[in-house]
Structure 1
Amino acid sequence: MLINLHVKNLALIEETEVDFTDHLNILTGETGAGKSILIGSIQSALGAKIPKDMIRYGCDSALIELIFHTKSQAVQKKMEEFEIPFEDGEIIISRRITNNRVINKVNDISITISRLKELSPLLLDLSGQHENQLLLKPQNHLKIIDSYHRSVIAPVKEKTASLYHEYQELQKKLSEQNMGEEQRIREMEFLKYEIQEIEEAQLRPGEDESLETEYQKVSHAKEILSDCAAVHEVTAGQNGCVGDLIGSAVQRLYTVSNLDAEARGLTEQLQTIDSLLNDFNRELSSYIDSMEFDGEQFAEIEERLNLINHLKAKYGDSIEKIQKYHDNSVEKYEKLSNYEEYISEIKRELSKVKEKLDIQCERLTALRKEAAIPLTKLIKEALLDLNFLDVVFEIAFEQSEHYSALGKDNVCFMISTNPGQAVRPLHEIASGGELSRIMLAIKSILADEENIETLIFDEIDTGISGRTAQKVSERLAYIAKKRQVIAITHLPQIAAMADSHYLIEKTSDANSTISNIYPLSEEESVKELARMLGGVKITEAVLQNAREMRALAKQ
């Protein structure tokens, strides 16, 4: 579950830290106090895009940090996959935002945003203010069914997607081969010319590099000879060369060493230098003798390099790529030479893949329909608990004429909320308040299936009041018995159910506006409920009403 949230220099938040508890955590506050910023910070920490203007005015950077404690095997497996240390079930996610970059870390190890987004759904599920609108799109209904009994459906779904992509590739390949006889002959002649051009060159791996080295050596032979001759003149020439000077110095030191034994070491060192210089001069002479300029050889090297560079410009920037181009061209030529047989082979392969894809689509449909039976029952039961008194809920299936990576199923949630009213597509009749309750029902069911430890609801109470609000609060409390729930609400009926109650408050002075969050004591919670009940003026009667509401919630 989410243990701690720490936010610094983000929008209206200067710096705030809050410790969350088990079960039901309720966040309340005046409109505009910063509740959405707080939820947005959690979303951002888990991988959502962070606008640069979210950094607090006058600050260079912002920090968001979440601390989780989890026993989830799925989380442990993912952490091992990412090679991130994971001890005692603790996970610390941090994102530091500057004007130039965002640094993501998990347990102090830098992590890519894509990996952070893989890990996040395993830790919590966050329902934002606008997520209810997803229910208005029937394509999302299929995702809900696939999330339910994911362990059974996912492997078949992956196999279906793989076959679908294979099917698409074969269809594309077949459509690309739709050419007439004249076009086929032209293509074959062109390929034949390219193949012949490459084969006649008789290229050898690494040949271009060795030729380039030889070319540089031969083309600069005159400069090399001139410089080497100058060196040889200095070391072994006439008129006081280095060799003569060292030889003379050796003779003098030899005389000294006969007079003083301590000078023998110096004499031996200089003799070694003289010997090395003689060896050097012999090797230098051999090198100079080998550097004879051969104009014919130079012309051959230049011509060969020009040919290789010409082929590189046409077929690839290396001999390996040229050879690969040749092999691909040979393969294309052979296919065009046996064009009818090649087309028939594609069609046969396409037919086989289509047959397999049909089988997988049928399996996928059967699994989805099987999952839809208990899912329909659970959703209906949850809706009854959420004050849908005469609800009828069904999941309708239709088969598409076309394949997709998801199979051939079109799914639509059908509902009737009034007696005698026929079921109709959810998106045609559901109001805002009904959508929020349906989403709450679905989220609670999927959380059980996927073993998600933390659920966050941002204003789940949109469009509801009265007895319905009470039912929603009871449902949240029921869900919170088995997992951590964090909810933002404007309704006292829901706030009264809190196991831990937090107030988000905005304060202003002449220079700045700051949002803070802090936990409320029991008496402070009653006063906040009274504010939510009574508005501007809180009377003793309102306070008493708040205390009664709190006492009933505890029962």
Structure 2
Amino acid sequence: MLTELSIRDFAIIDELSLSFHEGLTVLTGETGAGKSIIIDAVQLLAGGRGSVEYVRHGAAKAEIEGLFSLDTNKHLIYLVGENYGIEITDNMVVLHRTITSGGKSICRVNGKLVTLAILKEFGKTLIDIHSQHETQSLMQPESHIDLLDLYDTELINQTKKEYKQLYERLQTLRKRYKELSENEQEMAHRLDLLTFQLDELEQASLNPDEDEDLEEERSSLANYDRIYLAIQDAYNALHGEQKGIDWLNLAVQSMEEGKNYDPFIAEKAEELANHYYLIEELSFDLRNYRDNLQYEPERLNEIEFRLNEINRLKKKYGSTANAIIDYMGKIQEEIEEITNKDSHLNKLQHQINETYQDAYLEAKQLHDSRKSAAEKLTKEIHSELKGLYLDKATFSISFTSKKDMESETAETPLLLNKNGFDFVTFQISTNPGEPLKELSKVASGGELSRIMLALKKIFAKHQGVTSVIFDEVDTGVSGRVAQAIAEKIVHVSEQSQVLCITHLPQVAAMADRHNLIEKMEKNKRTITFVKELTENQKVDELSRMITGAKLTDTARQHATEMLELADSIKQKNDG
């Protein structure tokens, strides 16, 4: 969850530090006080599009930083961190975003500089923002199939994994078939190029690891004097009168003379004798190596010439001799394919047909699993909508597919994509007699708020995000619907931390914590500040939300009753 949020020089916010907790936190305040600005800051922290307009007038840059704590090390963000080489320790993640007055955006995750795209990858696993004004994943038909798969991962995931492997193989085979069946002129040009490259590489006659071996040999020849001198000095230090081995020999004799009188001397005498013979043998090795050293300037020139030739080939074919040899093998295979194109095309087509059939069977099983999941999801959504006084609404999950005009494996083959052959769309009819239509085409803001909340209530536990933010999703509702929305938001907060900007007293009354956002003038500049309300202050704020103006005893009484009702509802839920 989001535990700490720091904002500096952002819009009308001078400097602001907020602490958040589990459960439901509401943010209320007058229009223009800066409620949505705080959500904008969080959205930028999650990888949203930035603008110099966000930088406070007169400031050099705007800075936003958020600390997120995780309750498990199995969270998806650990996989994201591993993919991008960012270590996550102590179950904490810090996201940082800076926007300069010049328009530059600087992003960091746990102190490491990242691109905006990478910041977005981290952000979407931590924060889920819902507002009336943004296009959310729930409103995008292309994301509905992922949400359905997420709803019942136990039923769908393994089949989906097996299907994706087959689909990727199918795509690879089709790509190769297309390349091989291109027009004759292009293939002739390709064959000429490959033949030229193969001739050049065959003439080079490279051996495995040849570049490394030559580099090592060149180093020895180029440093002949240093090598000879080092070995000569080492040998001379060991061999000769009054030299290392001579003194070791004296030590061995001394120990031999005393070994009969002391067990320690006996033990160490044998040890010392062993070392003596090893060092003596080592000195002979040094002498033999020195005597066989030869300075060969002609060989050095040969090596330089050969390495220049290999380096020239490296620029064209690979970074090492082994990589060039591998490339040569691929060229030979491709030349053979092009030369015997027809037989290879027939073989590829057979492989494509077989792989399509295997992939289709997995896609069919995936389709059947999704149908089963869709039935359960539809029932659950209807139950949620009923609780939001949309009992007349009809929710449906539409499955469509397309024909594959390129496939030759069936009379009416289906077009496979990365998700199988299914195209899934969530549809709804909010009133009897109306046709089903896509979620994005629901006209009423109040109805849309309730539909989105019902979906979010269901998917919150499946998506695994640590923080869900509702930005005035309760707009356009009142009365019993407002109370129902409040209770649904509380249910979401049982699965994830929820931050909610609201104008509804029913929602505010249900909060575990209530923050009031206000603005004031300081040093002739407008600033925004936030304070957490006490129980008495909550009553006053709810009264203001009820009356919109003057606080009356009646409004305070009503606010007190709302808080008592909220407590009883939450206690009932806990029970």
Q: Which amino acid aligns with 1:443?
A: K
Q: How many residues align?
A: 477
- CA 1:122/1:177 → structure 2, altered by over 3 Å: closer, same or farther? closer
Report what 1:443 is aligned to: 456
Report the Cα distance in structure 2 between the residues aligned to 1:118 and 1:417, rounded to whole angstroms.
35
Q: Which amino acid aligns with 1:370?
A: S
Report what 2:401 is aligned to: 399
Report the Cα distance in structure 2 between the residues aligned to 1:479 and 1:315, rounded to whole angstroms.
57
- CA 1:430/1:147 → structure 2, altered by over 3 Å: closer, same or farther? farther
- 1:503 Cα offset (Å): 0.6
Report the Cα distance in structure 1 between the residues aligned to 2:377 and 2:303, rounded to whole angstroms.
77
- CA 1:338/1:493 → structure 2, altered by over 3 Å: closer, same or farther? same
Report what 1:327 is aligned to: 329
- CA 1:188/1:20 → structure 2, altered by over 3 Å: closer, same or farther? closer
Report the Cα distance in structure 2 between the residues aligned to 1:316 and 1:303, rounded to whole angstroms.
19
Instruction: Give CA deviations for 1:45-101 in whole Å, capped at 9, x if unaligned.
Output: 444455455444435562413243625743696599564322xxx525242636466
Report what 2:92 is aligned to: 91
Partner secondary structure for residue 171 of structure 1:
helix
Matches within 5 A, 1:530-541: 530-541=543-554
- 1:465 Cα offset (Å): 2.8
The answer on 1:476 being equivalent to 2:481 is no
Out of 336-345 and 189-198, give the one that drifted further: 189-198
Report what 2:205 is aligned to: 202
- 1:354 Cα offset (Å): 0.7
The answer on 1:519 being equivalent to 2:532 is yes
- CA 1:326/1:369 → structure 2, altered by over 3 Å: closer, same or farther? same
Report what 1:42 is aligned to: 42
Report the Cα distance in structure 2 between the residues aligned to 1:181 and 1:311, rounded to whole angstroms.
29
| Rg comparison, structure with higher value | 1
8 Å Cα contact 2:54/2:62 also seen in 1? no
Report the Cα distance in structure 2 between the residues aligned to 1:211 and 1:393, rounded to whole angstroms.
73
- 1:135 Cα offset (Å): 4.2
- 1:185 Cα offset (Å): 5.9
8 Å Cα contact 1:42/1:66 also seen in 2? no
Partner secondary structure for residue 370 of structure 1:
helix
Partner secondary structure for residue 9 of structure 1:
strand
Report the Cα distance in structure 2 between the residues aligned to 1:48 and 1:550, rounded to whole angstroms.
36
Which of 138, 163, 168 is matched with 1:165 structurally?
168
Report the Cα distance in structure 1 between the residues aligned to 2:190 and 2:495, rounded to whole angstroms.
68
- 1:102 Cα offset (Å): 3.4
- 1:442 Cα offset (Å): 1.0
Report what 1:286 is aligned to: none
- CA 1:160/1:131 → structure 2, altered by over 3 Å: closer, same or farther? farther
Highest RCO, 1 vs 2 (Cα 8 Å, sep ≥ 6): 1
Report the Cα distance in structure 1 between the residues aligned to 2:312 and 2:6, rounded to whole angstroms.
62
Report what 2:66 is aligned to: 65
Report the Cα distance in structure 2 between the residues aligned to 1:290 and 1:118, rounded to whole angstroms.
60
Instruction: Give CA deviations for 1:136-165 in whole Å, capped at 9, x if unaligned.
Output: 432232222122113432333233333223
Which of 352, 363, 368 is matched with 2:370 structurally?
368
Report the Cα distance in structure 2 between the residues aligned to 1:513 and 1:481, rounded to whole angstroms.
37
Q: Percent of aligned positions with the same letter in both sequences?
A: 35
- CA 1:190/1:102 → structure 2, altered by over 3 Å: closer, same or farther? closer
The answer on 1:418 being equivalent to 2:431 is yes
- CA 1:194/1:211 → structure 2, altered by over 3 Å: closer, same or farther? farther
- CA 1:446/1:532 → structure 2, altered by over 3 Å: closer, same or farther? same
Matches within 5 A, 1:194-233: 194-203=197-206, 205-206=210-211
Report the Cα distance in structure 2 between the residues aligned to 1:198 and 1:428, rounded to whole angstroms.
63
Report what 1:7 is aligned to: 7
8 Å Cα contact 1:8/1:64 also seen in 2? no
Partner secondary structure for residue 464 of structure 1:
coil
- 1:44 Cα offset (Å): 3.5
- 1:410 Cα offset (Å): 1.5
Out of 325-334 and 342-351, give the one that drifted further: 325-334
- CA 1:309/1:65 → structure 2, altered by over 3 Å: closer, same or farther? closer
8 Å Cα contact 2:44/2:50 also seen in 1? yes
Partner secondary structure for residue 364 of structure 1:
helix
TM-score (norm. length: structure 1): 0.73
Report the Cα distance in structure 2 between the residues aligned to 1:407 and 1:179, rounded to whole angstroms.
28
- 1:383 Cα offset (Å): 0.7
Q: Which amino acid aligns with 1:4?
A: E
Unaligned 5+ residue runs, structure 2? 223-293, 404-414, 569-575
Report the Cα distance in structure 2 between the residues aligned to 1:305 and 1:168, rounded to whole angstroms.
40
Report the Cα distance in structure 2 between the residues aligned to 1:306 and 1:454, rounded to whole angstroms.
59
The answer on 1:153 being equivalent to 2:170 is no
TM-score (norm. length: structure 2): 0.71
- CA 1:398/1:180 → structure 2, altered by over 3 Å: closer, same or farther? closer
- 1:453 Cα offset (Å): 5.3
Report the Cα distance in structure 1 between the residues aligned to 2:555 and 2:305, rounded to whole angstroms.
99
